[in-house]
Amino acid sequence: MMVPGRVASCACKGIRRCLLCEKLKESYFPDEKVVHLFLYSDETKLAFRKDGQPASFPFPGVFLWEDFLSEEEEKELIGSMDKNVWNLSQSGRKKQDFGPKVNFKKKKVCPANFSGLPALSKKLVLRMQEEESLSGFQPVEQCNLDYHPQRGSAIDPHLDDSWLWGERLVTVNMLSDTTLTMSLEQGLPQLGLSGEVKVAVPLPRRSLVVLYGEARHRWKHSILRKDVRERRVCSTYRELSAEFLPGGRHAELGAQLLNIAASFTGAPI
């Protein structure tokens, strides 16, 4: 964020924020207001009221795979990532990108500097594909994100692009437990919830989470600052939309991206 007369100290733009830029202009950001809070249960696939009231509702579109990674695999992955440069990103995060350069506003994809997913991801992708809900999953992008409480790291509520990216968003959570917050600003009138609704989805360390269906396209997802208590690193994998698969408008480009990704010889771009 740029403040007149001060040197840029972070990568935040627009409404995004971290502790560094808030110290420069503390009054810029409004307090967050929450209306209805729910907690997701992976066992029942229901969202329960966090205030103890009996209300609950089915929450579709989330698949959680606990202990997806072993302790040894986590250590190896983090060690490999930390050998590469972590670039400053918005809201106090750092990132490493393995994927094509994309201009979502102009709907342009440039594969020129894309050299594939990293080598250590090959065995992880093969493991993902063994799960029924991830059958045929072929990621063409991997984004590593580094969160740290000293930077006030977070990611604002958002919906991932659906022009280039396909149905399933896959994230592997490492180094610490955290919470994925799903939010619906328009509420759930059919349940008498007229204000914003938020559902907390616990993400254990070394787990994998998949968002699809309503959780992918209707509910925004975020990581709140208060839920980053220790260093957290995650890898998010994205597949192509139907427009870039056989029979789609950009099938030729999609095939090129898939071939590059599957080489598993990539370096961060």
Q: 46-91 pLDDT, tens per residue? A: 999 987 777 899 999 999 999 999 999 999 999 999 999 999 999 9
For the segment(s) 61-189+203-261, the CATH number from 3.40.50.300, 3.40.50.720, 2.40.33.10, 2.60.120.590 is 2.60.120.590
C-alpha R_g of the chain = 19
The stretch 223-250 carries a mean pLDDT of 98
Min mean pLDDT across 22-36, 64-78, 185-199, 225-239 is at: 22-36
Q: Which residue has the higher pLDDT, 235 or 1?
A: 235
User: Nearest Cα to 139, choosing from 111, 112, 167?
Assistant: 167
pLDDT higher than threshold 70 for residue 39? yes
What's the pLDDT band for 6 if we cut at 50, 70, 90? very low
Say what the pTM is. Answer: 0.88
- Specify the pLDDT at position 1: 54
Min mean pLDDT across 31-35, 47-51, 199-203 is at: 31-35
pLDDT higher than threshold 60 for residue 26? no
- Specify the pLDDT at position 28: 45
> What is the overall mean pLDDT for the chain?
92
pLDDT higher than threshold 50 for residue 248? yes
Q: 88-101 pLDDT, tens per residue? A: 999 999 999 999 99
- Specify the pLDDT at position 53: 74
- Specify the pLDDT at position 18: 86
What's the pLDDT band for 17 if we cut at 50, 70, 90? confident
Dihedral, CA atoms, 215, 220, 224, 227, nearest 10 degrees? 0
Residue 190: how many CB atoms within 10 A of its CB? Answer: 7
Q: 113-147 pLDDT, tens per residue? A: 999 999 999 999 999 999 999 999 999 999 999 99
How far, CA to CA in Å, does 177 sit from each of 82, 115, 214, 219, 229? 20, 31, 24, 22, 9
Using CA atoms, how far apart are residues 234 and 240, in angstroms rounded to an integer?
20
Residue 90's φ and ψ, nearest 5 degrees, are: -80, 160
* Range list for CATH 2.60.120.590 in the chain: 61-189+203-261
For the chain, where are the E strands, in sequence order?
A: 36-41, 46-49, 56-58, 62-65, 87-88, 94-98, 101-103, 108-110, 139-147, 155-158, 165-174, 178-184, 197-203, 208-211, 220-223, 232-240
- Specify the pLDDT at position 33: 60
The stretch 170-189 carries a mean pLDDT of 96
